[in-house]
Structure 1
């Protein structure tokens, strides 16, 4: 059994981790930290976990995280980098679901996240946890930077095209929409029900924190920098990301076959039949990314539709998938969850 600690278990990502790990046959939850809610039973805060998680939240100073096999950070940006070195020195593996270790260019990270990085040397060691690209590196990793939700959906949609050199890499467009849970479990006016319901809006058009992460990932696949316009939107739903991706085709190819072959051995990427239109509800609660590829009117534009649950494949589910890889378990362990419908 893997002894597991979770730092910051009171947010949406934290409760999703708890839901998945509570049903994981090789996971033993040892500690779930919260400074503000120490002593509160987890099932009191999250009634859905009653009968599945019997622990109480504990103060980080009393969590004995150094006795765990792996620690997940489900915390705001800037927290994991303060504690990771001590855990690694104690022989604990770390999976950070925030952005502290995702971007290799420290100056770029500090520009977008507005703080000084506490351990830039560990950024170089951290493995970017997109299994469909970095599986072998993840197996050996001590520290995994779990990808963001938008970057997961966008990269999985563009990767086959860039690997095959089939699109003009200087003019990619990602038009992406996210449910409100992507903003986290906090009280902010833009995500209040009366503000977000019955409405639809773009945000971060001038620049979003996930933009450098996506560019970095796509450049690593393509072998040189790519040009990307990324526009996120807030939609009046709780879960889900829908990314509509555009590229200019450089040469003719069977795009359907390309995607099917690229992801043929990827359990958590489902390439739909030609002509399909994936819906966010088709992945709700699951670790799946569902993809459809189109070439409207047979023209020179390829359109890829990519959908995920932002809290699962976009966060907690992918983190558990990475844990499974790191400890030599089948990737599907604890993740064989059928999507919820309706």
Structure 2
């Protein structure tokens, strides 16, 4: 059995990791780390674990944790993982970090967008960006994986094949994305109170959202050049889910736009054998409820011949494929076990 520790187990993503690992045939949680709830029963914080988890929350002593586990998930705010990681630690244990500390390869961009000093820049180059369907081979040998964010996972995977194949002009890419409130974390914030969110929808982080450079960097690798794009997130009154609608100009070949068949062939080329990415049929578009509680990504598209553009649509559960599920998928790859272990979760329709 793979022994796992979770730092930040009482946040939404940390609790979701615990939920998934409880159904995992080859892994178990042996350390529920939480600064805020030390010595409290984990099930007293999340009642759904009553009579299922009888463990108490421990502190986040990562050195002690590393002597008792094989992998550590850090489901924590930006800055914490970077302040803890060191060479001695990585010799003992694998780390999957759900924060942004090791996602960006340029430390100056990280510090600009996140407005904090990076505490471990020497590990940035080693860290592998854990987008499983794209970087699987690199993840296999990694000691430190940077688990992608929810907006970024959905946004990148939705456009990746078309960028990679040169079927769209990536410099024309515009991404509008909607997120459920759990994406903002479990911390108390006035803007996320029920009365502030219910019966409303609002954009935020307009032209400043810190997932923007992450999307640009990863799609830039696919395009073979640096990209600049527009990304606008929106908060909607639902618990969980991401829906990204993306627009780009199609690239003409000999003056002719790509056909829907060519677009579908590109998606099938990259995702046709991927269990967790579902390419929807013609005229079928993604809905958050069809991926809720699962590790699936649903992708649809529509060519607008009138404008010469394509509309790409993708949806994920922000807490599963956008956080905990992808983290467990990364763990499976890192330890050389069935990548789908513990993750064949049927989406909840209601």
Q: Please tell me the TM-score bracket, short chain as reference.
A: over 0.9
* Structure 1 contact 33–63 (Cα < 8 Å) conserved: no
Q: Does 1:294 align with 2:302?
A: yes
Please state if 1:131 is matched with 2:139.
no
List aligned pairs for 1:163-182, cutoff 5 A.
163-182=164-183
Deviation per residue, 1:90-127 (Å, 9 max, x gap) = 42000000101001100110111111111101011000
Flag structure 2 segments of 5+ consecutive residues without an equivalent. Answer: none
Match of 1:303 among 307, 311, 320: 311
Q: Pairwise CA RMSD of aligned residues?
A: 1.3
> 2:62 & 2:156 partners in 1: Cα distance?
39
> Which residue number in structure 2 is paired with residue 322 of structure 1?
330
- Kindly state the Cα deviation for residue 227 of structure 1 after the two structures are TM-superposed: 2.4
| CA shift for structure 1 position 299 | 4.4
Report the secondary structure of 1:88's partner residue.
helix
CA contact (8 A) 1:88 1:94 kept: no
Cα shift at 1:242: 0.3
Deviates more, 1:59-68 or 1:127-136: 59-68
Q: Deviations over 1:265-298 (max 9, x none)?
A: 1111100001111100000000000000111356
Structure 1 residues without counterparts, runs of 5 or longer: none
The residue that corresponds to 2:289 in the other structure is 281
Match of 2:273 among 265, 272, 279: 265
Q: Is the 8 A contact 1:128 1:134 kept in 2?
A: yes
What is the TM-score normalised by the length of structure 1? 0.97
- The residue correspondences of 1:230-269 to structure 2 (distance < 5 A) are 230-251=231-252, 252-253=257-258, 254-269=262-277
Q: In the aligned structure 2, how far is the partner of 1:311 from the partner of 1:63? A: 27
TM-score by length of 2: 0.95
| Alpha-carbon distance in structure 2 between the residues aligned to 1:157 and 1:319 | 19
Task: Give the paired residue count.
Answer: 342
3-state secondary structure, aligned to 1:317: helix
- Higher mean C-alpha deviation, range 298-307 or range 285-294: 298-307
Q: 1:200 to 1:179 in 2, by over 3 A?
A: same
Return the alpha-carbon distance in structure 1 between the equivalents of residues 73 and 88 of structure 2. 11
1:244 Cα offset (Å): 0.1
Given the superposition, is the C-alpha separation of residues 96 and 181 from structure 1 closer, same or farther in structure 2, using an over 3 Å criterion?
A: same
Aligned partners of 1:58 and 1:314: how far apart in 2? 26
Report if aligned partners of 2:62, 2:84 keep a CA contact under 8 Å in 1. no
Distance 1:106 1:266 in 2: 32
- Offset at 1:255? 1.1
Q: 1:79 to 1:29 in 2, by over 3 A?
A: same
